[in-house]
């Protein structure tokens, strides 16, 4: 199977309201170009350095999404071009993104990462921390970032019921905020192994790597 045929096959199964982020981390630029030639314009990377290098080499009409955990001291390397930062999980990080966005005279779109998995290792806020952040004075004064929604990763398990429960939990938090905040339009959940289930649970953005580019 080629990257192109994988991509087209996945796209056919996605509802119109669901955006596909092609997760190209660790893959060479030649693979990304193959996806680009097949029409893909949104790419997701999990390391800022790697994303910045690929940004330099790839065509300009690409949306670059940072899907990995972001270190505060690296924000400056992506602030001029990143389209959406998925994994924001602290006010401190948001403040830094805001600062670097301001320096670049931009508004940077972000998603807040919510911890829905059972594993301790996955980053993210719980619902109370999310509400504290959104209601804080500091947050309200950040004019160069916009929170467009939420992102989450389910537990790495074969248990579909568990994954579904976690996705529905995230969707319920998302729904509560989106009724009062019209900026909240994006719910980023679902990867190669679970994106169909994620879409059934209300995902509007799926992050798919290995099903497009092959195993890493």
Ligand X SMILES: *Cc1c(COP(=O)(O)O)cnc(C)c1O
Binding site for ligand X (CB under 6 A): 23, 25, 46, 67-68, 153, 191-193, 207-211
Cβ 26 to ligand X shortest distance, Å:
9
Choose between 142 and 167: whose C-beta lies nearer to ligand X: 167
DSSP tag of 37: H
Cβ 143 to ligand X shortest distance, Å:
27
Cβ 118 to ligand X shortest distance, Å:
17
The CA distance from 143 to 8, in Å, is: 38
Choose between 142 and 203: whose C-beta lies nearer to ligand X: 203
- Asked if 125 and 115 touch (Cβ cutoff 8 Å), the reply is yes
The CA distance from 26 to 211, in Å, is: 14
Choose between 48 and 208: whose C-beta lies nearer to ligand X: 208
Largest interatomic CA distance in the chain = 51
**Cβ contacts of residue 56 below 8 Å, gap of 6+?**
none
Cβ 179 to ligand X shortest distance, Å:
27
Cβ 153 to ligand X shortest distance, Å:
6
Residue nearest to ligand X (CB): 209
Choose between 86 and 171: whose C-beta lies nearer to ligand X: 86
Choose between 79 and 209: whose C-beta lies nearer to ligand X: 209
Cβ 56 to ligand X shortest distance, Å:
22
- Asked if 24 and 44 touch (Cβ cutoff 8 Å), the reply is yes
Q: Which of 55, 58, 113 is nearest to 82 (CA)?
A: 55
Choose between 149 and 209: whose C-beta lies nearer to ligand X: 209
Q: Which of 156, 48, 142, 29 is nearest to 90 (CA)?
A: 142
Tokens representing 168 are: 């529905």
Assign 64 to helix, strand or coil.
strand
The number of angstroms, rounded, from the C-alpha of 150 to the middle of its chain's C-alpha atoms is 8
């Amino acid at each position: 199977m080629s990257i192109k045929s994988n991509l087209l096959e996945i796209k056919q199964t996605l509802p119109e309201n669901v955006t596909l982020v092609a997760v190209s981390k660790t893959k060479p630029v030649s693979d990304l170009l193959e996806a680009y030639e097949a029409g893909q314009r949104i790419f997701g990377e999990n390391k800022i350095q790697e994303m910045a290098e690929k940004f330099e080499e790839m065509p300009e009409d690409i949306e670059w999404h940072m899907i990995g955990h972001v270190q505060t001291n690296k924000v400056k390397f992506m602030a001029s071009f990143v389209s959406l930062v998925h994994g924001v999980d602290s006010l401190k990080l948001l403040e830094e993104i805001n600062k670097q966005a301001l320096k670049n005279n931009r508004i940077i779109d972000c998603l807040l990462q919510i911890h829905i998995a059972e594993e301790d290792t996955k980053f993210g806020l719980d619902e109370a921390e999310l509400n504290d952040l959104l209601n804080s004075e500091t947050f309200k004064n950040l004019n160069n970032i916009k929170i467009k929604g939420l992102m989450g990763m389910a537990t790495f398990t074969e248990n579909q019921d568990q994954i579904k429960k976690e996705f529905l939990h995230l969707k319920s938090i998302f729904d509560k905020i989106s009724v009062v905040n019209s900026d909240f339009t994006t719910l980023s959940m679902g990867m190669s192994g679970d994106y169909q289930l994620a879409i059934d649970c209300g995902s509007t953005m799926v992050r798919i790597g290995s099903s497009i580019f092959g195993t890493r």
